[in-house]
Chains A and B, each alone.
Chain A
Amino acid sequence: MRDDDTIDRLSARMAELQHELLARDRSARHDRMRAAVLAGVHGPGASQRGASSTRTWAIAWASAAMAVLVVLAWSALRPTPLTFRIDAAGGQVEAESLVVADGDEPLTLTFSDGSAVVLDRGSRVRVGTRRVDGVDLVLEAGRLETRLQPHGAAAWRIVAGPYEVVVVGEAVVLEWTPQITSFELEPQRGRVEVRGPGIEGTRVLDAGERLVIAGEPREGLHAATGASTPTTVAPPSIDAVAPTPVVEATPPSQPAAPERVAAVGRRGARAKPPPATASEAASWRSLAHERRWSDALRLAETVGFASLCDTLEAAALLELADVGRYAGERARAREALLALRRRFAGSEAAAAAAFDLGRLERDCEGARPWFRSYLRERPDGAMATAARQRLAQCEDDRSDEPTP
């Protein structure tokens, strides 16, 4: 689609919809606004405003000074975004880490406000933007359950494939199986808002309702999973019922793409690390699984970092890059990721490497091409939302010409 065509069609639709919205209750709305305007200009007290301009200015200056003080104080004391820890492992985890519940038990992320997110065994979630009263989560696969403290509007968001869920209440169960494009959502306390393919606009679900979307994988939706492109496109079946499930999803198949190694996992929970391809693997990888990043990197360098880059499988290369990253050696992380992209071009792991390369860059100039590469290769990928957000952030950071 040409750019001009996109803009024209989109703006025409926006104008059309805008017009429709404005036409609603127009007369009553204008009456209400007119009355407010007249009261503001001609109502009691309004005529007095010009009579004491000196006093007004003094009050204005005092108010401005007070506002500056308040802003300064607020800047110093402003609330900080939520932090979280993995209960079984302890310690803080940096934002946007991929957390994999690869142990035998569910994994609980406990946030600093007392909220908790429980991941079922085998689930993978990426922690994105953290705010004062909420967090963005990307459920890459599996099932999670929230137990949230009361929070602000739209504070907690969960992205699962092409679906976006805003948790208005406290407790919700969400399951996403990308291999079969199966999405299940069940608020247990409070309500949720959900939008995505097959849903008309924003759908609101209350406790006791359940939304199940399942169907033939659709082109575009499936790109992130690395599965073959379907030849037929069938609309997903959708139902919201209370309280029994409508669609039973078939057990998910094994992901075709190499599994991403948890950047942060439960201490000692990785009982079965991926099979080593060389004798060295047991050493540096074992240390990595124990989150001894610097030790793991030292051992990898002893073995020969370059030769590892030339011989390791894709999943192990991602792990090696994580080792470099968490050990604070960005150049090593970059080396591993570039090797991955060179040797496994076109794969799911190569796309993930592009995203990670973007994250490694210190400035937008360096990061932008990598995020664009990721979006080009996986426009509906699990990290697509995060890539777009980072690109948008780069745009926001550009100096904005002041409006005179």
Chain B
Amino acid sequence: MSSSAPHRLAPLLPLRPPGSLLLGLRARQPEASAMFFDRWVDGVERAVHAVLGPDVDAEDVVQDAFVAALRGIDGFRGDEAALGPWVRGIAVRLALRRIRWRRARRWLGMGGSEVIAGLRGPTDTHLQAALGRAYALLDRLPASERAAFSLRFVEGMRLEEVAEALGVSLATTKRRLTRAREAFTALAANDAILQAWLDGRAP
């Protein structure tokens, strides 16, 4: 958690012995839930944004992941240190589900471009547009490969963490990454606008 986290919950920290957070969560204590959220929200948010890109639904996915984790806390079998990777894994799988749902919507003829939709309006900046361009390319990859690629290369997670977040084996993760980077490299190399951005010729 970064040093800029909210301060109002800080007094709770010294009062809780190790493991008490998990006990508090299982006892359905609101302050434990708040602490759980504050401790892990940054990592979860980064992972979701890495998978989805600049997306209007990212905030919903983060919230849904925490709600699902808190409701399902009785089924959690790890220790307190494993809570973070656990909720992050839930969030990544929810983000994947969101991508697949959108693709199904597109198949049903109900949806348009998910990237452009999140980049609308006069407040959009070149920053968002550049990210949108990159994620438009990633959107051409299968969802699981896109997620593996984003978590590994954008979020910078270790292979083991990527595998855990996706709920697959290390070997499967490596295979997906290999395929994803080959496809993405080819797409990016042929995208003049993205290349200009990379070369510093565009903001």
Of B116, B144, B193, the contact of A153 (CB 8 Å cutoff):
B116
Q: Distance in Å from the Cβ of A403 to the closest Cβ of chain B?
A: 6
- Inter-chain contact A30/B203, CB cutoff 8 Å: no
Does the CB pair B116–A36 fall under 8 Å?
A: no
A134-B6 contact, Cβ under 8 Å, with A10-B188, A34-B34, A201-B126:
no
With A202-B124, A204-B122, A401-B176: A41-B140 Cβ-Cβ less than 8 Å: no
Cβ contact within 8 Å between B66 and A403: no
Contact of B203 among A79, A201, A204 (CB under 8 A): A201
CB distance from A24 to the nearest CB of B (A): 10
**Interface status of A248 (Cβ within 8 A of chain B):** no
Are B109 and A81 in contact, CB atoms less than 8 angstroms apart? Answer: yes
Please tell me if the beta carbons of A18 and B50 are within 8 angstroms of each other in the complex: yes
In the bound complex, do residue A11 and residue B153 qualify as a contact, i.e. CB atoms below 8 Å apart?
yes
Contact between chains at A204 and B124 (CB < 8 Å): yes
Interface residues of B in 45-104 (CB under 8 A from A): 45-46, 49-50, 54, 59, 62-63, 66-67, 70-71, 93, 96
Give the number of residues in B that approach A within 8 Å (Cβ atoms).
77
Q: A294–B133 Cα gap in the complex (Å)?
A: 44
Question: Which of the candidate stretches A107-115, A192-200, A332-340 sits at the interface with the other chain?
Answer: A192-200
A241 within 8 A of B: no
Complex Cα spacing A389 to B132, Å: 17
Chain A 91-123 interface 0/1 with B at a Cβ cutoff of 8 Å (1 = within): 000000000000000000000000000000000
Indicate with 1 or 0, residue by residue over B115-155, a CB within 8 angstroms of chain A CB atoms.
Answer: 01101111011111111111000001111110000000111
A403 touches B96 (CB 8 A): yes
Contact with B189, one of A6, A14, A220 (Cβ below 8 angstroms): A6
Q: Are B59 and A29 in contact (CB under 8 A)?
A: yes
- A257 at the binding interface (Cβ < 8 Å): no
Whether a CB of chain A sits under 8 angstroms from the CB of B185 is: yes
Contact B117 A154 (CB under 8 A): yes
Give how many A residues have a beta carbon under 8 Å from the other chain's beta carbons: 72
Taking CB atoms and an 8 Å cut-off, the chain A residues in 193-221 that contact chain B are 193, 195-197, 200-202, 204, 220-221
Assess whether A401 is in contact with B144, with CB atoms less than 8 Å apart: yes
Decide: A404 and B125 in contact? CB cutoff 8 A.
no
Q: Smallest CB-CB separation from A163: which chain B residue?
A: B193
- Closest approach, in angstroms, between the C-beta of A264 and any C-beta of chain B? 24
The answer to whether B93 and A7 touch across the interface, beta carbons within 8 angstroms, is: no
Q: Are A22 and B45 in contact (CB under 8 A)?
A: yes
The A/B interface has a contact count, at CB < 8 Å, of 186
Select A37's contact among B63, B109, B112, beta carbons within 8 Å. B63
**Residues of chain B with a CB closer than 8 A to A230's CB:** none
Whether the pair A37, B33 counts as a contact (CB closer than 8 A) is yes
B23 interfacial by beta-carbon distance below 8 Å: no
Known: A22-B46, A26-B4, A40-B67. A196 touches B183 (CB 8 A): no
- State in angstroms the CA–CA spacing of A204 and B120 once bound together: 9
Contact at B66–A200, with CB atoms within 8 Å? no
Give residues 112-146 of A contacting B (CB, 8 Å). 131-134
User: Does A400 contact B167, Cβ atoms closer than 8 Å?
Assistant: no
State A353–B120 Cα separation when bound (angstroms): 37
Contacting pair B108 A74 (CB below 8 A): yes
Let me know if B38 is at the binding interface, CB within 8 A. Answer: yes
Residues of B148-189 at the interface with A, using a CB-CB cut-off of 8 Å, are 153-156, 166-168, 172, 176, 181-185, 187-189
Looking at the assembled complex, report how far the CB atom of A168 sits from the nearest CB atom of chain B, in whole angstroms: 8
Decide if B3 is an interface residue (CB 8 Å cutoff): no
Given A37-B66, A201-B126, A396-B140, verify A78-B109 contact (CB < 8 Å): yes
Q: Which 7 pairs from chain A and chain B are nearest by CB?
A: A201-B126, A201-B129, A392-B140, A11-B153, A132-B109, A202-B129, A154-B116
Residues of B within 8 A of A (CB): 4, 6, 28, 30, 33-34, 37-38, 41, 45-46, 49-50, 54, 59, 62-63, 66-67, 70-71, 93, 96, 108-110, 112-113, 116-117, 119-122, 124-134, 140-145, 153-156, 166-168, 172, 176, 181-185, 187-190, 192-194, 196-198, 202-203
